Structure 1
Amino acid sequence: MTTAHPAAASTAADPAPGLLRVATYNIHKGVQGMGPVRRLEIHNLGHAVEQLDADIICLQEVRRINGREAVRLARQRWPDVPQADYLAPEGYQAVYRTNAFTRHGEHGNALLSRWPVVGVQHEDMSDHWLEQRGLLHVELDVLGRHMHVIVVHLGLVPGSRARQVEQLKHFIRREVPPAAPLIVAGDFNDWGPQIKHTLARNRLLEFEGAQRVTTYPSRLPMVQLDHIYARHLQPTGLQVPRGRIWWRMSDHLPLIAEFRL
């Protein structure tokens, strides 16, 4: 694991004692729309991420650079820093690793944390050449205890997802101590319960409430593609922000989970 430089003391609002708030959000590379109505949403996303008020924010489809879009959307004030750094609220550390290299740039997963980052890893999860995927593993110091967070964005093909889940399980066994608190969050691209059942057999659980949670598509959400699983943490709630402002910014809605420490 690559050792990260410890963060200075956070200037963000102190989290509720004994409560950990985690969010996951596929931000669709910070751009929405097609052709002449294509618009840059990264500025709105910056405000939205801050409003999530989460201690840990897991992001997918985050751009580091894209030369073509920077030129096309220059009048909409394309940020002069990578999106993960731009979205990090004051007092948070931003961690980013690339999953996909394209002709004009690259994008991947990111994690924004109120807590100090003590280690970072990235592993390629690409199952075929049409989809470049990866996992981001970040180790945090939470109240003097090391907590592990894995951000994933799984493939569109069912067979690929099954193999990627097996790779995820092997990674956890290899890199995460069995007694350490662990969160696995991201866009699982899974329309059914199979991955949930597989992870449950490995003690990774998600809050199960009476109300059905849906995150995709954002305008009229019908399925839950985004999940937050945890081991050695007690889930206490799961929520999805809704409203026009949210479905305008991405094709996914954010998901927020709370845990007792």
Structure 2
Amino acid sequence: MTLQALSVLSYNMHKGFSVGNRSFVLPEIRLALHKVNADLVFLQEIQGQHLQNARQIAGWPELSQIEYLAKDLWPYHAYAKNAVYEHGHHGNAILSKYPFVSWENLNVSPFSWASRSVLHASIQLPGLSNPVHIICIHFGLLARERRRQMAMLCRRINSHVPRDAVLIIAGDFNDWSEQANRQFHHSLGLREVFQVMQGSHVQSFPVWLPIFRMDRIYYRGLKPIDCAGLTASPWRLLSDHAALTANFSLTSN
């Protein structure tokens, strides 16, 4: 059986808390993610461990956040730390309905005080002979930091991803000046799904009044079908970022 289409969701989930950390909303995030039921889920700011919150917050799951979110729907998942502190750590994660061939967490922090990483995985899809490469990112807040991170990511892709391989990069780029697009397109042959389908990157932050175009889904070797930024209820009551979704045909464009 050959898979004909692939659905993707990308989400900065703010460690399972609502805006301003007013409420612990991980159960509601789980319900919302399961309702979308994407084949691949790219998560940023997922909490790997927080010993203090586990003791103090009612409803904190016994499972890790990635196991809790993945349970019953995504049998394959990978979590990568990018920030470690006294009570725990958080980072990026990928949930997948299809098995991983490999995954690796890459440190892209150009400064000692900045904790950032890139989660690079490959998965095997039914009917495809070659693995699909998928990368979850959360870039820094400073322009000079992001430029270095972009350069690191481009070097990684050029050295580890075949030019004819299907590739998806999704996450929180913090790129309100929209500098990533030029480098991704010219250096890597990537296109951004909202720019292709709707004419511009989607406004995704803050979710209750989206102004900044922070979150992206880049691709190559696929044909986009549709995409959406999820800003209505329940999403506007969860993280401060909108979730992004995209559907692709597994036919190169």
Query: Which of 228, 246, 254 is the matching residue for 2:243?
Result: 254
Cα deviation for residue 127 of structure 1 reads 1.9
Deviation at 1:196, TM superposition (A): 1.1
**Partner SS, residue 240 of structure 1:** strand
Q: What's the TM-score, normalizing by structure 2?
A: 0.91
Alignment gaps of 5+ in structure 1: 1-13
Pick aligned residue for 1:195 from 174, 180, 198: 180
Matches within 5 A, 1:146-185: 146-185=131-170
Counterpart mapping for 1:122-141 below 5 A: 122-141=105-124
Distance 1:224 1:251 in 2: 13
Partner of 2:54: 70
Matched, 1:101 2:93: no
Task: Give secondary structure in 1 for the equivalent of 2:230.
Answer: coil
How do 1:1-261 and structure 2 match up within 5 A? 18-34=4-20, 38-73=22-57, 75=58, 77-92=59-74, 93-145=76-128, 146-201=131-186, 202-207=188-193, 208-210=196-198, 213-261=202-250
Change (3 A) 1:248 1:150: same
Consecutive unaligned residues of structure 2, counting only runs of 5 or more, are: none
1:143 Cα deviation after fit: 1.4
- Deviation, 1:183, is 0.6
Q: How many residues align?
A: 243
**What's the CA shift string for 1:10-50, capped at 9, x where partnerless?**
xxxx9x95211111000000012557xx3211110110111
Q: CA-to-partner distance for each residue in 1:228-253, whole Å, 9 max, x for gaps?
A: 10111122222012223212110001
Letter of the structure 2 residue corresponding to residue 61 of structure 1? E
Mapped to 1, the partners of 2:19 and 2:237 lie a distance apart of: 9
Whole-angstrom distance in 2 between the partners of 1:86 and 1:94: 11
Please, what TM-score do these two structures have when normalized by structure 1?
Answer: 0.88
Structure 1 residues 33 and 185: CA distance shift in structure 2, 3 A = closer
| Letter in structure 2 aligned against 1:210 | Q
SS of residue in 1 equivalent to 2:236: helix
Moved over 6 A (4+): none
- Residue type matched to 2:28 in 1? N
Displacement after TM superposition at 1:128 (Å): 1.5
Opposite residue 169 of structure 2, the aligned amino acid is V
Contact 1:147-1:180 at 8 Å conserved across structures: yes
CA contact (8 A) 2:48 2:65 kept: yes
Structure 1 CA distance for aligned equivalents of residues 209 and 178 of structure 2: 20
Identity of aligned residues (%): 34
Contact 1:50 / 1:89 at 8 angstroms: preserved in 2?
no
